[in-house]
Amino acid sequence: AFTQVFTFGPTFRAENSQSRRHLAEFYMVEAEISFVESLGDLMQVMEGLFKSATMSVLSNCPEDIELCHKFIAPGQKDRLEHMLKNNFVVISYTEAVEILKQSSQNFTFTPEVAAVDLLVPGVGELFGGSLREERYHFLEQRLARYLDLRRFGSVPHGGFGMGFERYLQCILGVDNIKDVIPFPRFTHSCLL
């Protein structure tokens, strides 16, 4: 069995969102990793992927990046280099809830789960990930048809998805996600 796998392909969402951060069809990098036992381990992989991909783009496409940053988002290259040089800020769910409680808006808080999001300035959620349930007796109660995948043993594992257009939006400093894809598909964009 493979311990680290990924896929890159289209994803479809039927959300009725008209925001600058949502598309009905977008590309996603999805990864599954065996023997990941903590969210901290998963977050290190997510941060590492972001940083290595961004360093590669900055070093292999400097003219393109300079052009975008000169005319679209002055200072974006400096912001990216700052992100690459520093560890990402990590806060727990409990800390996030405390921050939100101090807000003037009312929020509903759901039970804590083994999940994580990577939020970047100007874009919002870039990665979403979680640890997967591998304990058979917990799965048995709720997911009978899923059990065959775990019947003969499993290992701790986790994974994440990263929206590719949001990644481009982040590194290029583009405000609207519809501007990083040639033919954006979003709610009510297909008039056929």
Query: Is 111 a domain residue?
Result: yes
Q: Are 189 and 181 in contact (CB under 8 A)?
A: no
| Lookup result for tokens 């975008």 | 68
Query: Cα–Cα distance between 170 and 77 in angstroms, integer?
Result: 11
Query: Is 65 a domain residue?
Result: yes
CATH of the domain at 106: 3.30.930.10
Query: Is 187 a domain residue?
Result: no
Query: Is 129 a domain residue?
Result: yes
Query: Is 188 a domain residue?
Result: no
Q: What is the pLDDT of residue 187?
A: 77
Q: Find all residues with CB under 8 Å of 30, minimum gap 6, and list them.
A: 6, 7, 8, 159, 160, 161, 162
Q: What is the pLDDT of residue 1?
A: 64
- For residue range 55-99, what is the model confidence (pLDDT) as tens digits? 999 999 999 989 988 998 998 989 999 999 999 999 888 898 888
pLDDT above 70: percentage of residues in the chain: 96
Q: Are 147 and 158 in contact (CB under 8 A)?
A: no
- For residue range 90-111, what is the model confidence (pLDDT) as tens digits? 988 889 888 888 888 887 777 7
Q: Is the pLDDT of residue 179 over 80?
A: yes
- Structural domain total, the chain: 1
Query: Is 110 a domain residue?
Result: yes
- The pLDDT-based confidence of 174 (bands split at 50, 70, 90) is very high
Query: Is 64 a domain residue?
Result: yes
Full residue range of the structural domain in which residue 29 is found: 4-180
How many other CB atoms are there within 10 angstroms of residue 92's CB atom?
A: 10
Q: What is the pLDDT of residue 173?
A: 92
Query: Is 9 a domain residue?
Result: yes
pLDDT above 90: percentage of residues in the chain: 41
Taking residues 131-157, report their average pLDDT.
Answer: 76
Model confidence, pTM:
0.80
